[in-house]
Amino acid sequence: MRLSAGYMIPFIKNRPDWGFVCGRMSALEGKLLPREFFTLIIEMHHTEDVYQHLQGTLIEDYLDPGIPWDDFSAIADECFYDLATSIRAECPSPVPADLFLIRNDYLNIKSALSGIDSRFLPGMIREQTIGAVLDGDYADLPSPFRDRITGAGIDLGELDESMSDMFVDGAYLRHLLMLADEIDSPLIRSCVQERVLGHAVSSLWRVLRQGRDLKQVVDLFLPVGEENPLILDLAGTPDPAAWPDLVGGEIGDQLARAIQMPYDDQISTLAQGDEFRPSPLRLRAPRNIGARTGIRLSHGP
């Protein structure tokens, strides 16, 4: 049985040093928005209505009546990035904020492996390091990525884009686990473990839908800590309808709901809890606003 983060107490060894940051986080918690706030956006028909609705929120300062709304995710990304880097600068240790910022780094690695320049704001990895990936130089990438290549003798140049993405996904999850170990908090470890499992299931399902035999490619994804046995079980189960029972818990329930959705909506439904996405505000595009004004509230890549 999985431990619920709701029954754990956060543990920080040097609590006095974190006093200011904890106070700031407490203030930010008071600005968290309820689900109903986002439901109302889905029902809106005009950009001005959305603009007014977002007044008083954290994203307010990034909006004005004349701002281009072609890609709302870019606005949300900038707001989230500025907030996360600001908090990181005030933390005694950057690691808690890095848990959220490294997502962009691995998205940039994916882009570089496809021959595309960085598209996302950098987290822990310098732009020069990402640029070197374009030339096949991985020496300065984080150890969860670099060590897996050297240890298994993997040639990323021989992988197609789908398999390359799967390799990067695994490195990203190993990096999350490594950061969680550095923090040494049972609460954070539990939360990260759930994120790892959710992202792993989503990644495997995407590959399976491409007609791949997971048993032949799962080694590119592993290891991912405690979830290794479950990942191998999923790879050996070609019918995803059997996966919810194997996964169990809230993620298993989410997967079961996703399987019942129309085919084109299945992955996006499962990925609603997946943090490995360009936009931190995962709003399903309002059909009425999208059709009438062209706004795209990005749900993912």
> Is residue 210 assigned to a domain?
yes
Q: Is residue 47 part of a domain?
A: yes
Domain that holds residue 66: 17-275+283-293
Predicted structure pTM score = 0.81
Kindly report, residue by residue over 143-181, the tens digit of the pLDDT.
Answer: 999 998 877 678 888 889 889 999 999 999 999 999 999
Give the model's pLDDT for residue 290: 36
301 inside domain? no
Amino acid identity of residue 172, one-letter, is: Y
pLDDT band at residue 280 using 50, 70 and 90 as cut-offs: very low
| Percent of the chain predicted with pLDDT > 70 | 81
Confidence band of 297 (pLDDT split at 50, 70, 90): very low
Is 11 inside a domain boundary?
Answer: no
- pLDDT of 299 reads 31
pLDDT digits (tens, 9 = 90+) for 45-90: 888 888 889 999 999 888 877 666 666 778 888 899 999 999 999 9
Rounded CA gap, 126 and 140, in Å?
10
- The alpha carbon of 153 is separated from its chain's Cα centroid by a whole number of angstroms, namely 27
Considering only CA atoms, which of 212, 132, 204, 146 is closest in space to residue 174? 146
Evaluate if residue 29 carries a pLDDT over 70. yes
- Contact (Cβ atoms closer than 8 angstroms) between residue 172 and residue 102: yes
Amino acid letter at 61?
A: D
Q: pLDDT (tens digit, 9 = 90+) per residue, 218-249?
A: 999 999 999 999 999 999 999 999 999 999 99
What phi-psi label fits residue 182: left (phi over 0), alpha (psi between -120 and 50 degrees) or beta?
alpha
110 burial via Cβ count (<10 Å: 0-12, 13-18, 19+) = buried
**Mean pLDDT calculated for residue range 25-40:** 89
Question: What confidence category does residue 108 fall into, taking pLDDT thresholds of 50, 70 and 90?
Answer: very high
Q: Which pLDDT belongs to residue 94?
A: 93
110 pLDDT band, cuts 50/70/90, is very high
Model confidence at 15: pLDDT above 70: no
pLDDT at 20 over 80: yes
Give 13-38 as a DSSP string: TTGGGGHHHHHHHHHHHTTPPPHHHH
Q: How many distinct structural domains can be found in the chain? A: 1
Q: Is residue 8 part of a domain?
A: no
Average pLDDT over the chain, rounded to whole?
A: 82
Q: What is the residue whose two structure tokens read 């992202």? A: 199
Please tell me the least confidently modeled range out of 111-115, 251-255, 278-282. Answer: 278-282
Tell me whether residue 125 is in a domain. yes
Query: Which range scores top for mean pLDDT: 8-17, 238-247, 256-265?
Result: 238-247
Greater model confidence, 268 or 132? 132
Identify whether the C-beta of residue 85 lies closer than 8 Å to the C-beta of residue 158: no
Decide if 138 is inside a domain: yes
Residue 71 lies in a domain: yes
Look at 199 and 8; give whichever has higher pLDDT: 199
Residue 281 has pLDDT above 50, yes or no: no
